Chains A and B, each alone.
Chain A
Amino acid sequence: MFSAKIWRESPQRYRLEAAKCLGCGKVFFPPRLVCLGCRGREFEKRFLPWRGRVLTFTVIHTAPTPFVDMAPYCIAIVEVEEGVRLTCQLVDVDLEAVEIGMEVELEFRRIQSNQSDGVLCYGYKAVPGGGE
């Protein structure tokens, strides 16, 4: 991944920065310039919580090159609050134990780690919830 792209996406990947529409209150992650609900263009910044529940998931066996060493792994859609979802890996878990509805926490992890000379890309991944 290009270092400029990593840098551009870091507010979302590092801090879960989302945008809440000032017109209708809808929350977008990643942020948008125009609200899909009311066409509004004014937003306020907000941070999503680092926990949620699995809405659905799949297990990847044939992985794209940067993730080959991790296969098989779980990709989950996690709902972090009413209507706000994100897609990420679910790690530190037995793949057979993953269930729809399970509580997860988000942790800061390396997203791509198999290059030895590139910029490291960090972001969120889900882990089984322990209830903090």
Chain B
Amino acid sequence: MAVGIIGYGTYIPRYRIRVEEIAKVWGMDAENYKRGLMLRQKSVPAPDQDVITMSVEAARKALRRAGIDGSEIGSVYIGSESHPYAVKPSGTVVAEALGATPEVHCADFEFACKAGTEAMFVGYSEVKAGTVRYALAIGADTSQGAPGDALEFSAAAGAAAYLFGAEGVAVEVLQAYSFMTDTPDFWRREHQHYPRHGGRFTGAPAYFRHATGAALRILEMTGKRPEDFRYVVFHQPNGKFPVTVAERLGFTREQYETGLLAPTLGNTYSGASPMGLAAILDEAGVGDLILMVSFGSGAGSDAFVLRTTERLLEIRDKAKRTRDQLDKNQRYIDYATYAKFRGKIRKR
């Protein structure tokens, strides 16, 4: 029995801030970040948006594409490192808004930037095990970097939602695999407003080791080589890391550029590789192989080998595409407005 994605959707806020605007305030060299990290701008959530609101919007698109009713959803999993509440699940609000309550299993996941693929991993596994008919998995974040920190250039907002099922499968999951160690490259302690990171330590021993490890092993498990894939998408904390890891593994620009959103979106953390996958599904043909590899600090990577079916062509025009949300109707703001929107100005 084929199990896989039966519906998907994304949400990107309309506000954007350019790298130049942030660099100007902190006396940094914008060209350096644009060239070095391949970042031009990032999305900014409006003051009335958070992980819950973006998750609802992304999930509604997924339901519309799948053509099922919210009440049919058996589980709701939301992966994020910026859940609005410290105590109280995001998933209850989202499930209620979708009409999935009360007969639904729900949990919020956390694992830095890979919480979204973690939700996908569990949702897929539940459908495969026959525990639920449909599982909803969401990756969403409105992450923040400390003012003046390099992270401020990339920490962005967005959400991707995936519905898993065994009927009407648009994208089959051929293999799922997880690669994880304890690696303290990035963290945030309780009551701290901004995360801290290990600077260059976030590269080789963290991102590259885990993304590479997950990719190589899942290729081995499925007996595939890079050239067998039409598309590949990696976690994208900036525009540079995913390109570096893809090319090291032998993938080409044609394979990774469709899912590479970071240069104009920024890093949407738990939403990052799932949103890249959505951009791929908006374009893919029938029978295309896709490799997806996430990364979450802490650290680990989830990998999926996916294959599109004819059903994808029937569902994808039922909701707004990811690139359309990214490239149209943007509203550019200055740093002062950004600081107000993101609560970086203390009023009392």
Contacts and interface: CB of A to CB of B under 8 A. Distances in A.
B99 A15 contact: yes
Given A108-B97, A122-B93, A125-B48, A92 B331 contact: yes
B320 A108 contact: no
Nearest to B15: A92
Query: Chain A: interface residue count, which band?
Result: 20 to 34
Contacts of A69: 47, 340
Given A113-B47, A130-B329, A107 B320 contact: no
A82 interface: no
Interface string B33-59: 000000000000011111011001100
B14 interface: yes
Given A130-B320, A132-B319, A110 B96 contact: no
Interface in A71-98: 91-92
B94 to A, nearest CB: 9
Given A92-B14, A92-B331, A109 B49 contact: yes
Interface residues of B, number: 24
A113 B319 CA distance: 28
B144 to A, nearest CB: 15
A92 B46 contact: yes
B328 interface: yes
Contacts of A14: 93, 96-97
A113 B329 CA distance: 24
9 contacts: A14-B97, A92-B14, A92-B331, A108-B53, A109-B48, A110-B47, A122-B97, A125-B48, A132-B320
